[in-house]
Amino acid sequence: MVHLIFLTLACGTNDGASPVGSAAQVPAVQETPVAYTVASNPKATEGLATADAADGVEDKVARKCAGCALGMDGDAAHAISVDGTTLHLCSSMCKEYYVKDVEGNLAGLVN
């Protein structure tokens, strides 16, 4: 009986209500970035490599915002995936603009 009372207190009841404070303890779920493919466009592929190298580490994660010509830090909350490389864009507006023409925007990063 004592075990049943303890479990009820520790886990809450089955009435659909959450235990007190549980909402604050649930970690935020990171969405998987939408995936794009540009492998058939050599200029876009070169731009992708340029974006990846812009933060000083070639690790398939571009931490500089490709939408701002790599001039600002990106944010993982506004990421997209292109051919296995994650691009962190600085804002939702930048991401919205960038995904309209991923290939063209990447090609524009090449000097």
Beta carbons of 102 and 82 less than 8 angstroms apart: yes
Q: Are 105 and 66 in contact (CB under 8 A)?
A: yes
In single-letter form, the type of residue at position 61 comes to V
| Structure tokens given for 58 | 């070639």
Q: If we measure between CA atoms, which residue out of 81, 57, 14, 10 comes closest to residue 66?
A: 81
Q: Answer yes or no: are the C-beta atoms of 62 and 86 closer than 8 Å.
A: yes
Q: What is the mean pLDDT of each run of 10 residues along the chain (111 residues)?
A: 40 47 53 85 97 97 96 96 97 96 96 77
Q: Tokens representing 39?
A: 């492998």
Report yes or no on whether pTM surpasses 0.75.
Answer: no
